[in-house]
Amino acid sequence: MTFKVPRGTQDILPEQSAKWQKVEETIRHLCHTYRYEEIRTPMFESTELFQRGVGDTTDIVQKEMYTFTDRGNRSLTLRPEGTAGAVRAYVEHKLYGLPDQPVKLSYIGPMFRYERQQAGRYRQFVQFGVEAIGSKDPAIDAEVISLAMNVYRTVGLTDLKLVINSLGDKEVREAHRTALINHFEPHIHEFCSDCQNRLEKNPLRILDCKVDRENPLMETAPSLTDFLNEESATYFEKVKHYLDLLGIEYEVDPNLVRGLDYYNHTAFEIMSTSKGFGSITTLCGGGRYHGLVQEVGGPDMAGIGFAMSIERLLLALEAEGKELETDSALEVFIVSMDDAAKEKAVELASTFRAKGIATEIDYASRKMKAQMKAADRQGAKWVLVLGEQELADNAAAVKNMETGTQEKVPFHDLVNYLQTH
Ligand code: ATP
Ligand code: MG
C-alpha cells in the first residue's frame, strides 16, 4: 500500500521551506513596520459565517467549500479565505470598541478550496492577508495597497502591475445593477447557467465570469465608472492621489470587479507581468468592503483588505528567475575520529548551539573523509576536526571551508574564534 498527498495539496520539503520561511519573515517584518498585528483564527468556522460573509452567489460558497458535519451535528467549513474569520473575531471580541480605529489585522495560514487543480491553484494554499477595519479614510486604502506591493518588491519581484477600480457606493451599485440587468436580460440564454443565476442575485458578477469572457455583450456592458456619483468619484480621486504620493504606479481598469459581494469603492489586483508566468497571473486581490461587519452581527463599520497566496508569490519569483536568499547555512560541522572525540563533539555542539551557532556532528560513525564530504555537502562554513592529538592538546583543528586555511584553536577559545572570524 502506498500513499500520496491528496490532490491539490503539496509537501513542502526542507529545501523549499527555507524559501517559505524567508517570505514569511519578510511579511512579518513589513506587517510590523506598517502596524498590522497578527490575528490567528480557527481553521474552521460555522458554515453560515462563510455563506453570509463571503456571499451565497460566489464560486467559493457555491462550489469550493470543504463543508462537513461534526459529531455534534454542526455544519462546519474549512476556511476558504481569511476575511470572514477576522471580521467575526473583530465583532465577537468587540474590537470596534478599541480607542484606536481602524483596527489593523494581519493573518497568514492555510485556506481550503475544492478547485480544479492547475498551476497556481491548489486545494490547500497559504494566504497572507490584512484587514483594516473601522475607517473610511482613502489614505488607508493606499496604505493597504502599498503594503501588498512592498511584500512583492522586498522579495525581489519587479514584473508587477497594479490595477485599480472603484466599485462606487450602494447608490452607485444599485443604479449600475439595474443597467446591467437591462443589458444582459434579453440575451441571458446565451450565457452559462451560473450567469443566468447571477442575473437577479448579483449581475455584477457576470462581468467576472470565466466561461463567458468572450461574449461580445461583456465588452459593451455598462461600466461602473459611468455611474460613479460625486462622493464615489472624489473618494477614488483621493486614493489615486495618495498612490501618486507614494510613487506607486497603477492602471485603472473599469472592468475590474471582485468576486466577493461586499466590496465597494476601491478594488485592486496585483498581477505578474513576467513572461514565464502561466495563465493565472493574479497574485493578490483586495478592496474595500462595507456591510460585512454588520452582516456578522457588528456595528456599521467599513473595512479594507487584501489576500495573496504564498504559492503564487513563489511561482512569480520562479517566473522572473529570481532566487530568494535563504539563511539556512550551516556554520560548523564537527568531525570526530574516535569515541572519545565523539564525546567532545557532542559537548562542543551543545556549547555552540547555546551561543546560537548552527552546528552539526556525525551520527553515522563515518570515516573522517566521509564526514568531511558531508560537511561540504551541507555547506558548512567551518569544519572542526577532533582526534586523539586534539584531545591531548585541548585544541581543535579549525578549517575555514571557503579559504581552505586551517588553525589550531584551544577549546576554551572556540566560541570567541567562530564568532569573530
Ligand atoms: P481566482 O480568480 O484566481 O480564482 P479568487 O478571486 O478566487 O482568484 P481571492 O479569493 O481573491 O482569489 O484570493 C486572493 C488571492 O489568493 C489570489 O489572488 C491568489 O493569489 C490566491 N489564491 C486564490 N485561490 C488560490 C488557490 N486555489 N491556490 C493558490 N492561491 C490561490
Ligand atoms: Mg477562485
Distance CA 282, CA 277 (A): 10
Kindly give the interhelix angle for 138-155 and 310-320, rounded to the nearest 10 degrees. Answer: 50
Strands 251-252 and 263-272: unpaired
What pLDDT is recorded for position 260? 62
Quick check: 346 pLDDT over 90?
yes
* Ligand 1 in reach of 161 Cβ (< 6 A): no
For residue 179, the CA-to-ligand 1 centroid distance in Å is 29
CA atoms within 13 Å, Cβ hemisphere of 260: 27
CA atoms within 13 Å, Cβ hemisphere of 181: 12
* Ligand 1 in reach of 208 Cβ (< 6 A): no
Q: Residue 132: in which H helix or E strand, if any?
A: strand 124-133
Please give the grid coordinates belonging to residue 67.
Answer: 463543508
Q: For residue 383, what are the contacts with CB-CB under 8 A and spacing of at least 6?
A: 332, 333, 334, 335, 372, 375, 398, 399, 401
* Ligand 1 in reach of 287 Cβ (< 6 A): no
pTM: 0.91
Q: Average the pLDDT over 259-275 and give the result.
A: 87
At CA 60, angle to CA 57 and CA 62, rounded to 5?
A: 50
Distance CA 202, CA 421 (A): 65
Task: Express as a percent the part of the chain with pLDDT over 70.
Answer: 99
Rg (CA), the chain: 28
81 annotated as a binding-site residue? yes
Helix (H, G, I), strand (E, B), or coil: what is residue 49? Answer: helix
Q: Residue 396: in which H helix or E strand, if any?
A: strand 395-400
CATH architecture of 332-420: 3-Layer(aba) Sandwich (3.40)
Distance CA 151, CA 153 (A): 6
Chain segment 18-63, per-residue pLDDT in tens: 999 999 999 999 999 999 999 999 999 999 999 999 988 788 999 9
Strands 382-386 and 332-336: parallel
Chain segment 307-345, per-residue pLDDT in tens: 999 999 999 999 999 999 887 789 999 999 999 999 999
* Ligand 1 in reach of 83 Cβ (< 6 A): no
Instruction: Name the band, by pLDDT with cuts 50, 70 and 90, for residue 259.
Output: low
Domains of the chain, by residue range, sit at: 14-169+229-320, 332-420
Nearest ligand 1 atom to alpha carbon 283: 20
* Ligand 1 in reach of 269 Cβ (< 6 A): no
Q: Where are the beta strands (DSSP E) in 260-381?
A: 263-272, 282-290, 302-309, 332-336, 359-361
82 annotated as a binding-site residue? yes
Instruction: Name the band, by pLDDT with cuts 50, 70 and 90, for residue 295.
Output: very high
For residue 59, the CA-to-ligand 2 centroid distance in Å is 7
Annotation: CATH topology of 14-169+229-320:
BirA Bifunctional Protein; domain 2 (3.30.930)
Nearest CA to ligand 1 atom 11: 285
